[in-house]
Amino acid sequence: MRSYGQLCSIARALDVVGDRWTLLIVRELLILGPSRFGEIQRGLPGIATNLLTQRLRDLEANGVVIREPAPSATGAPIYRLTERGMALDGVLRELLKWGAPTVPQAPPEAIFQMHWLSQPARFLLKDHRPSEPAAIIRFGTLDDGFDLTAAKGTVAVRPCASDTKPNVGVIGPGPVLVALLQGAIPLELALTNGVRIDGDASALTRVLPPAPDSINVPGQYN
């Protein structure tokens, strides 16, 4: 990793996390929690195995990631964020907010994985009916998704758990789901553009932001 060689906290931070793929590795570990190499790689389509290995080594050397022995003799080592690594959550939140307006202009061939939506969901969705019993909304599947729990005025996200019984399941195209979570389109319009729900729809509407009175979203949502 090359250094900028500047006595500046921004430059020093970029010395550690400024290389290509590095912050996306942090994103995966923030979403998934402690993970094996292969689990991290699945969330980074396009990264070469040797490059991911090097980036993890660099993060470990800089105290951002720790590599723990496999829980069993035949298992793979586990990577997890250190306290310093977890502190990057706020950095990624600001990048998420800064980058959100550019999502509708992403190229049509852009790859989408449902679990990536868990970070914006954590910040964009609210529990609008806190007096009601807790509700669980599953976005995606056990293989690629997340569970969002609305309870007592708060929302929490975590990777899908096989022993969890969601109140409603949600799947659909990435751009449409992003627009739905941002409040750019109402649920009714999302349903006509490929979003599918299975279960109690009111659990989903409980957390969605209010859609605008007039819809002016370009392209496929007109």
pLDDT at 38: 97
Q: Is the pTM of this model over 0.85?
A: yes
So what's the architecture of 9-87 in CATH?
Orthogonal Bundle (1.10)
- For residues 151 and 134, what is the distance between their CA atoms, to the nearest angstrom? 4
Backbone angles phi, psi at 211, to 5 degrees: -80, 155
Q: Please state, as a whole number, how many other Cβ atoms lie within 10 Å of the Cβ of residue 91.
A: 13
So what's the architecture of 114-221 in CATH?
2-Layer Sandwich (3.30)
Nearest to 30 by CA among 144, 159, 191: 159
Report the C-alpha dihedral over residues 203, 207, 209, 210, rounded to 10 degrees: 40
Render 65-93 in DSSP notation, one character per residue. Answer: EEEE--SSTTSPPEEEE-HHHHTTHHHHH
Digit-by-digit pLDDT tens for the chain (222 residues) are 689 999 999 999 999 999 999 999 999 999 999 999 999 999 999 999 999 999 999 999 999 999 999 887 778 999 999 999 999 999 999 999 999 989 888 998 999 999 999 999 999 999 999 999 999 999 999 999 999 999 999 999 999 999 999 999 999 999 999 999 999 999 999 999 999 999 999 999 999 998 776 554 444 444
- For residues 120 and 198, what is the distance between their CA atoms, to the nearest angstrom? 22
pLDDT at 199: 97
Domain limits, the chain: 9-87, 114-221
Amino acid at 23: L
pLDDT at 75: 82
